[in-house]
Chains A and B, each alone.
Chain A
Amino acid sequence: NAGVTQTPKFQVLKTGQSMTLQCAQDMNHNSMYWYRQDPGMGLRLIYYSASEGTTDKGEVPNGYNVSRLNKREFSLRLESAAPSQTSVYFCASTVERNTEAFFGQGTRLTVV
């Protein structure tokens, strides 16, 4: 029962470095999401993929790119990390929109 798996769990980057956060789900869900969680704020949507082959911007997409590699995998890339991107990142999946969401364990990213 893996559900949604994210890697890595922790990462420290220097300003300007790039990295890719990986996410995979084994529930045959169509839709996948990337959120960030910051203290005192609710989760905010960065990008989502309604179905394989499609991606769309969410509330806070600037500084990020995504790839829906196949139905299982949805990656988030930071091309040039900035301290403002220090956050906890969560990947989630749903069968389709407005259905029960399942979350990964998160990636705690620090940009120094």
Chain B
Amino acid sequence: KQEVTQIPAALSVPEGENLVLNCSFTDSAIYNLQWFRQDPGKGLTSLLLIQSSQREQTSGRLNASLDKSSGRSTLYIAASQPGDSATYLCAVPSGGYQKVTFGIGTKLQVIP
């Protein structure tokens, strides 16, 4: 059974810092890995999707990397801003429609 772990559970950084969020998974037989952000009381917003054949994906200040063999993905946020404050989740599909496993998320606070 796929297990997804996100460490740390919470992170507080001053504005302007570069930071890394981690996502680990136990079964490397994945199709892709998707990163989301969730604002309080809101739905999940897709940030990046990395295909299993890719090593990294970039969008603006965000860069996500994937290392299937070690079961790890990182989300790098450059020059963090208070507007980046949210919970960040990763999700890993491992097969059929119902085999998508979500992490619990990392709650990020960027302090002005």
Residues of A that sit less than 8 Å from B by CB:
4, 31, 33, 40-43, 45, 48, 50, 56-59, 90, 92, 97-98, 100-106, 108
Contact = CB atoms under 8 A, between A and B. Distances in A.
Interface string B56-77: 0000000000000000000000
B81 to A, nearest CB: 23
The 3 A-B residue pairs with the shortest CB-CB distance in the complex, in nearest-first order: A42-B102, A98-B31, A103-B44
Nearest to B46: A100
Interface residues of B, number: 23
A105 B42 contact: yes
Interface of B: 4, 31-32, 34, 36, 41-46, 49, 89, 91, 93, 96-98, 100-104
Contacts of A59: 98
Given A97-B93, A97-B96, A102 B101 contact: no
B32 A98 contact: yes
A106 B43 contact: yes
Given A42-B4, A43-B91, A100-B34, 11 more contacts: A41-B104, A42-B101, A42-B104, A48-B97, A57-B98, A58-B98, A90-B43, A92-B44, A97-B96, A103-B43, A105-B43
Contacts of A97: 93, 96-97
A41 B98 CA distance: 16
B54 to A, nearest CB: 13
A92 B97 CA distance: 12
B98 A48 contact: yes
Given A40-B104, A41-B104, A103 B45 contact: yes
A106 B49 CA distance: 21
A59 to B, nearest CB: 7
Contacts of A101: 34, 44, 46, 91, 100
Nearest to A96: B97
